[in-house]
């Protein structure tokens, strides 16, 4: 049953209720010079009638539980299951109660202070005494095809006392950046995503290994994994997650799912979270395990999560403002400035887009990711690539290849877009295209190098805010100190899958 399209929380002024700025003071970034509304501006109004309709539909569909989910700063999905009977209030009264009458909560330290592989707090600025409440955004509601009688809804994290959006909430941060793009720069973004993963199966000796020896675009892999692909597509479709393409990739057992380009960036981010969960669970249903781990073998291609960006003038009926055939590059001046802003901050952004020690195993010559600070057109070994529309032969979007599934997608999108927006705001001039003769600077080759760059990046630190940036750097620096062999990383990932 397709739930998502009908379950947005609406009122007569939904956009204004969610995104409008107020007369309260705003935080300003010196480089970007755009207004960043206070978190209180983003406390979403709750529509009681819509909630009642949603609950009636869920009950009719046989749903008994709703997972209140959020993604912590280090890309762990933190969720709690609420019986539908508790949410609807049916055990006490026939009326529907607000989910915040009995708020689902999470300790602040668990939201932004725990490393991905341990429950030992590592952020000295966060407290186990401070509690955040999870407020559901029912426009993100999905019935989970792989979990019997269960739905899930993405939430934002709020201060327990004031109910203001927490500065630690990455989903809320993305909302704020998107609002600033529209209100301060007059643009709205479109984004596409590619999800790569490797399927493993236990062999006759009890050893987990890739399901086949696939190569890029291999029909044999599609034939052998037809049942898995069919089930995966059906389950994504039931969650209204549009798929543009599925094909085999270069590593053994590797597939790529391309999600359709979207003008709704927040929904796309939610879809990426749901899609990865669906891949993992469909693989289990077929007796396999799916790994999104960025690097599983030094002798094979890694798993990326490439992102594509373009934008349009606000209210322009979807005309691509990234492209301009009158320009020598085929890219509009704003598009060029967006790319330059991205490049200026790329060394720091890597700590957010490829944010683990394992992620950096995927960076280097011949890894199809790029290792020099530069851009190109159609060079698939460039970190930033301008893609050409095959129909119009014009620049259509810019791709960031140094992105993987270890990243918190909300945090990653928010900071990438902010970097590009700074370029547009300051009308930055795009550097020459990278080529064999160009002495482009090297990119960081380790997580610690990128974190060192982040600690000096005034724009990204201001976008993240003091509380989140301090916690994030502390936790990631602890992880950067952890020495593990690749084989141990793969084994741990398989145990978790």
Q: How many helical (H) and strand (E) elements, i.e. helices and strands, does the chain have? A: 14, 17
121 and 194 belong to one structural domain: no
Domain boundary among 139, 168, 197: 168
> Does 32 fall in a domain?
no
Among the residue ranges 395-409, 435-449, 456-470, the one predicted with the least confidence is 435-449
Q: Give the residue-averaged pLDDT of 304-316.
A: 93
Cα–Cα distance for residue pair 187/178, rounded to 1 Å: 9
Lowest mean pLDDT among 5-19, 307-321, 334-348, 437-451: 5-19
The pLDDT value recorded for residue 49 is: 56
Give the pLDDT score at 402. 97
Are 328 and 471 contained in the same domain?
yes
In a domain, 23, yes or no: no
Instruction: Output the DSSP codes for 262-304.
Output: ES-HHHHHHHHHHHHHHHHHHHHHTT-EEE--S-S-TTS----
Q: Which domain holds residue 365?
A: 186-496
Q: How many residues does the chain have?
A: 497
Based on the domain organization, do 202 and 164 belong to the same domain? no
pTM of the model: 0.89
Nearest Cα to Cα of residue 189 among 424, 483, 14 = 424
Q: How far from chain centre, in Å, is Cα 496?
A: 20
Q: Is the pLDDT of residue 42 over 80?
A: no
pLDDT digits (tens, 9 = 90+) for 278-289: 999 999 999 999
Both 126 and 235 in one domain: the answer is: no
Q: Is 66 part of any domain?
A: yes
CATH of residue 93's domain is: 3.10.20.70
Averaging pLDDT over each range in 108-112, 136-140, 212-216, 399-403, which range is the top one?
399-403
Q: What is the pLDDT of residue 22?
A: 33
Q: Are 408 and 170 in contact (CB under 8 A)?
A: yes
Choice between 332 and 7, residue whose per-residue pLDDT is larger: 332
**Do 224 and 147 lie in a common domain?**
no
CB 304 within 8 A of CB 178: no
Let me know whether 355 and 328 are in one domain.
Answer: yes
Q: Which of 114, 137, 168 is the last residue of a domain?
A: 168
Of 386, 418, 390, 421, nearest to 400 by C-alpha is: 386
In-domain check, residue 39: no
Q: How far apart are CA 389 and CA 345, in angstroms?
A: 26
Q: How confident is the model at residue 478 (pLDDT cuts 50, 70, 90)?
A: very high
Which are the contacts of 288, defined by CB distance < 8 A and separation ≥ 6? Answer: 199, 200, 201, 211, 228
Looking at residues 436-441, what average pLDDT do you find? 72
Tell me the mean pLDDT in the region 423-440.
87
| Strand boundaries in 103-179, DSSP class E | 104-107, 131-136, 142-143, 150-159
Task: Write down which residue in 138, 168, 198 finishes a domain.
Answer: 168
User: Degrees (nearest 5) of the Cα angle 77, 404, 371?
Assistant: 150
Lowest mean pLDDT among 26-35, 138-147, 280-289, 353-362: 26-35
Output the domain CATH number for residue 376. 3.30.590.10
Task: Identify the residue with better confidence: 444 or 31.
Answer: 444
Residues 285 and 145 in one domain: no
Q: Has residue 334 got a pLDDT over 50?
A: yes
The better pLDDT of the pair 424, 3 is held by 424
Choose between 8 and 82: higher pLDDT: 82
Tell me, what's the pLDDT at 31?
57
Residues 224 and 289 in one domain: yes
The pLDDT score that the predictor gives to residue 93 is 37
- pLDDT at position 365 over 50: yes
pLDDT of 48 > 70? The answer is: no
| CB-CB contact of 446 with 364 (8 Å) | no
Chain-centre distance for alpha carbon 188: 17
Higher pLDDT, 64 or 319: 64
Q: How many domains does the chain have?
A: 2
Domain membership flag for residue 452: yes
Question: What pLDDT was estimated at residue 85?
Answer: 87
| 94 pLDDT above the threshold of 50 | no
Q: What is the pLDDT of residue 438?
A: 67
Distance (Å, whole) CA 211 – CA 141: 33
User: Which of 34-43, 263-272, 286-295, 433-442 has the lowest average pLDDT?
Assistant: 34-43
54 pLDDT above the threshold of 80: yes
Q: What is the mean pLDDT of residues 439-443?
A: 86
- pLDDT of residue 252 exceeding 50, the answer is yes
User: Is residue 74, in this structure, part of any structural domain at all?
Assistant: yes
Indicate whether 236 and 327 sit together in one domain: yes
pLDDT value at residue 101: 54
Percent of the chain with pLDDT over 70: 85
* pLDDT on residue 32: 60
Q: 158-181 in b/e burial notation, b at 16+ Cβ within 10 A?
A: bbeeeeebbbbbbbbbbbbbbbbb
Query: What is the rounded average pLDDT for all residues in the chain?
Result: 86
Do residue 150 and residue 198 come from a single domain? no
Residue 36 located in a structural domain: no
What does the pLDDT read at residue 370?
A: 81
Helix, strand and coil in the chain, % to nearest 5: 35, 20, 45
> Is the same domain home to 92 and 193?
no
Inside any domain, residue 175: no
Cα–Cα distances in Å, from 43 out to 18, 133, 159?
7, 12, 10
pLDDT digits (tens, 9 = 90+) for 127-180: 777 899 999 999 999 999 999 899 999 999 998 888 899 999 999 999 999 999
Q: Which of 228, 231, 233 is nearest to 244 (CA)?
A: 233
Same domain for 224 and 366, yes or no, is: yes
Give dist(CA 199, CA 227) in Å, integer: 13
């Amino acid at each position: 049953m397709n739930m998502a399209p009908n379950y947005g929380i609406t009122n007569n002024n939904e956009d204004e209720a969610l995104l409008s700025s107020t007369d309260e003071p705003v935080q300003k970034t010196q480089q970007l010079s755009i207004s960043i509304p206070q978190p209180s501006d983003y406390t979403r109004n709750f529509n009681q009638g819509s909630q009642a309709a949603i609950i009636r539909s869920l009950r009719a569909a046989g749903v008994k539980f709703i997972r209140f989910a959020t993604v912590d700063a280090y890309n762990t999905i933190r969720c709690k299951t609420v019986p539908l009977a508790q949410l609807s209030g049916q055990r006490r009264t026939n009326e529907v109660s607000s989910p915040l009458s009995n708020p689902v909560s999470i300790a602040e330290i668990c939201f932004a202070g725990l490393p991905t592989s341990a429950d030992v707090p590592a952020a000295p600025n966060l407290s186990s005494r401070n509690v955040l409440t999870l407020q559901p955004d029912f426009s993100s509601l999905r019935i989970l095809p792989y979990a019997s009688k269960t739905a899930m809804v993405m939430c934002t994290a709020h201060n327990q006392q004031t109910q203001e959006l927490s500065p630690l909430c990455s989903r809320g941060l993305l909302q704020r950046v998107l609002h600033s793009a529209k209100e301060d720069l007059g643009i709205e973004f479109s984004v596409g995503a590619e999800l790569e993963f490797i399927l493993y199966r236990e062999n006759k000796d009890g050893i987990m290994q890739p399901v086949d020896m696939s190569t890029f675009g291999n029909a044999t892999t599609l034939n052998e994994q037809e049942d898995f692909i069919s089930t995966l597509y059906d389950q994504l479709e039931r969650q209204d997650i549009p798929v543009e393409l599925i094909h085999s990739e270069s590593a053994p057992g590797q597939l790529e799912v391309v999600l359709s380009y979207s003008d709704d960036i927040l929904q796309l981010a939610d879809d990426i979270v749901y899609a990865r969960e669906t891949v993992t669970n469909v693989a289990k249903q077929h007796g396999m395990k799916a790994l999104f781990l960025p690097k599983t073998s030094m002798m094979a291609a890694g798993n990326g999560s490439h992102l594509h960006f373009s934008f349009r003038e606000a209210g322009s009926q979807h005309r691509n403002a990234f492209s301009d055939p009158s320009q020598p590059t085929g890219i509009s001046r704003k598009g060029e400035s967006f790319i330059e802003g991205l490049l200026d901050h790329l060394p720091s952004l890597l700590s957010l887009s490829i944010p683990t020690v394992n992620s950096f195993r995927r960076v280097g010559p011949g890894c199809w990711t790029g290792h020099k600070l530069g851009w190109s057109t159609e060079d698939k070994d460039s970190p930033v690539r301008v893609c050409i529309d095959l129909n119009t032969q014009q620049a259509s979007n810019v791709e960031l290849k140094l992105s993987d599934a270890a990243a918190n997608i909300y945090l990653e999108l928010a900071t990438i877009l902010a970097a590009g927006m700074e370029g547009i705001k300051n009308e930055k001039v795009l550097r020459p295209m990278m080529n064999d003769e160009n002495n482009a600077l090297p990119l960081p080759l380790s997580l610690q190098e990128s974190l060192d760059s982040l600690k000096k990046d005034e724009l990204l630190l201001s976008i993240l805010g003091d509380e989140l940036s301090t916690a994030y750097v502390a936790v990631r620096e602890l992880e950067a100190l952890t020495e593990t062999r690749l084989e141990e990383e793969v084994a741990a990932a398989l145990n978790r899958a």
